[in-house]
Amino acid sequence: MLAHLERRTTDTEPAPTLLPVASYYAGPAGEARFTREQTALFRELPVLVGHVSQLPNPGDFFTHDASGVPLLIARDDTGTINAFLNVCRHRGTRVEPAACGAKKAFVCPYHSWTYGRDGTLLGIPHERGFATIARDQRGLARVPCGVAAGLIFAKPTAESARPVELAASASGAIRAAAIRDAERAHAGTLDAAAWLGPQIVDDLVGFGLASSVTYAPRRTERALNWKLGIDVFLETYHLRPVHKDSIFPMFFDNLGLVDPIGPHLRNIFPKRSIKDLVTEPRDTWALRRHANILYHLFPNTLILVEPDHAAVLTLWPQGPRGTLLTSFALVPEAPITDKARAYWDANNAILNGAVDEDFVMGESIQAGLASGANTEVVFGAFEHALAHFHRQVEQLAAR
């Protein structure tokens, strides 16, 4: 970064990139594209649903619906974090209506089918009416779930809900083998660390995310395509005009580093204070004090590492032209004084204000996509983080 400052350059690709406007669901094929991306990106890939600090004890749980699939995330008696479809295996009722809490068991509000913390079906009222139904096959349907750097990922696929129903005449050996096969196929495990890769995991652990706690969750809906919501975070070309009265005075104009890491990205956005490091011993340098470090965890999560905490933002498609933004701060410890809360609230206000400024621009783009003015958008050679993101979308959604 110091070399770029000296040369007055920035990270670039050799040439600009053109992206068809149709990639943002503009045009008659938009609904079909939206459906294809929902399946390829938001059902078959790991997506971030929370943080381990939300589940400190056995029996703690939270529910998650932003992906469009109702999920129940819970810590069982062994300390393992599991993810289930929040759907009763009797008639499909939502089992747990609360957003979060602690339970000894989960009881369906419709007919009181009861499930353990590990998803096991524990009880069926008037069970004699279900004599041919195998209770051990009717636990809550698991979805793959895993943890890396304290972040909880799940794959919101309903495949594990497929029942293993066999004829009553099937032999015990055949039934047992079928159940074992089903358990192996839907064991509920997800290697989140492998998905992120060791470089990102090491970074996030080193920045203290695994031992941090969540603070100030926020939900907001905006009238723009989810990919536009990602785009606005991945370049510094807009900082001067969009944020001139808010955060731009802390940063440089159109200066940054971009590291593609598999389908993911690491962006470094230096602050003006970084230029002072040239006079300081190298072993005293600390990047997070002099730059914002932004990770894009494909497909839809952004983690912004700041000097003493981090912010996690996840964008969820709510249709071709609507996005739900969920976010929370990760702070070193839960604030217990008014002074501590005021400090973190002030930090959040700066970030949320900048995000709102960005989304005004994103909504402006969304409104103009259908005008016909452009058949393609242009990413400058120094907007190559956006090009990388959209290449990953194209490759995976085209499968």
| Mean predicted confidence (pLDDT) in 279-293 | 94
pLDDT score for 170: 37
The Cα–Cα gap between 67 and 37 comes to 12
Reported as a pLDDT band with limits 50, 70 and 90, residue 236 is: very high
**What is the C-alpha separation between 142 and 136, in angstroms, rounded?**
13
Residue 71, phi-psi category: left (phi > 0), alpha (psi -120 to 50), beta (remainder): beta
What's the pLDDT tens digit per position in 102-116?
999 999 999 999 999
* Among the listed residues 158, 144, 288, 300, the one whose alpha carbon sits nearest the alpha carbon of residue 231: 300
The encoded tokens of residue 243 equal 């944020």
pLDDT tens per residue across span 171-229: 343 333 333 334 334 456 899 999 999 999 999 999 999 999 999 999 999 999 999 99
What are the residue ranges of CATH 2.102.10.10 in the chain?
Answer: 47-143+156-189
The pLDDT tens digits of the residues spanning 302-315 come to 999 999 999 999 99
Q: Return d(Cα 44, Cα 35) in angstroms, integer.
A: 13
Determine the Cα angle at 59 with ends 176 and 327, to 5°.
110
Bridge partners of 295, per DSSP, are 266, 303
Task: State the sign of the Cα–Cα–Cα–Cα dihedral 222, 224, 229, 235.
Answer: negative
Kindly give the interhelix angle for 384-397 and 30-42, rounded to the nearest 10 degrees. Answer: 90
Q: How confident is the model at residue 130, as a pLDDT?
A: 94
Contact indicator for 271, 291 with CB cutoff of 8 Å: yes
Strand partners, 311: 304, 329
- 133: which 2 tokens? 């139904």
Predicted local distance difference test score (pLDDT) of residue 267: 98
- Top pLDDT among 279 and 181 is at 279
* Interval 358-373 mean pLDDT: 93
Residue showing tokens 């410890």: 333
Confidence band of 30 (pLDDT split at 50, 70, 90): confident
Residue extent(s) of CATH 3.90.380.10 domains in the chain:
2-41+197-397
Predicted pLDDT of residue 399: 62
Query: Which residue would you say has higher pLDDT here, 383 or 164?
Result: 383
Q: How many Cα atoms occupy the beta-carbon half-sphere of 185 within 13 Å?
A: 15
Q: Which residue has the tokens 């090491």?
A: 202
- The percent of residues above 70 in pLDDT, for the chain, comes to 92
CA atoms within 13 A on the CB side of 307: 9
Please give the pLDDT value at position 311.
98
Mean pLDDT score of the chain? 91
Average pLDDT, integer, range 340-354: 97
Q: Specify the amino acid at residue 323.
A: T
Look at 163-172, 243-252, 274-283 and tell me which has the smallest mean pLDDT.
Answer: 163-172
Homologous superfamily of the 2-41+197-397 domain (CATH): Naphthalene 1,2-dioxygenase Alpha Subunit; Chain A, domain 1 (3.90.380.10)
Q: How confident is the model at residue 189, as a pLDDT?
A: 86
Taking residues 152-174, report their average pLDDT.
Answer: 55
Please choose, from the candidates 173, 210, 97, 9, the residue with its C-alpha nearest in 3D space to the C-alpha of residue 107.
Answer: 97
How high is the pLDDT of residue 166? Answer: 35
Predicted confidence (pLDDT) per residue in 111-154, tens digit: 999 999 999 999 999 999 999 999 999 999 999 999 999 999 99
**Residues making up the chain, counted from first to last:** 399
pLDDT at 165 over 70: no
**Per-residue model confidence (pLDDT) at position 269:** 97
Across 158-169, average pLDDT: 43
Tokens representing 285?
Answer: 């340098």
- CA distances 312 to 143, 157, 203, 327, Å, are 22, 23, 15, 5
Per-residue pLDDT averaged across 332-361, rounded? 97
Q: The domain 47-143+156-189 belongs to what CATH superfamily?
A: Rieske [2Fe-2S] iron-sulphur domain (2.102.10.10)
pLDDT value for 159 = 53
How many Å apart are CA 275 and CA 5, to the nearest integer? Answer: 8
Tokens of 387: 């090009």
Rounded to whole angstroms, what are the CA distances from 258 to 261, 293, 389?
A: 10, 10, 12
Q: What is the rounded average pLDDT of the residues 43-68?
A: 97
pLDDT at 94 over 60: yes
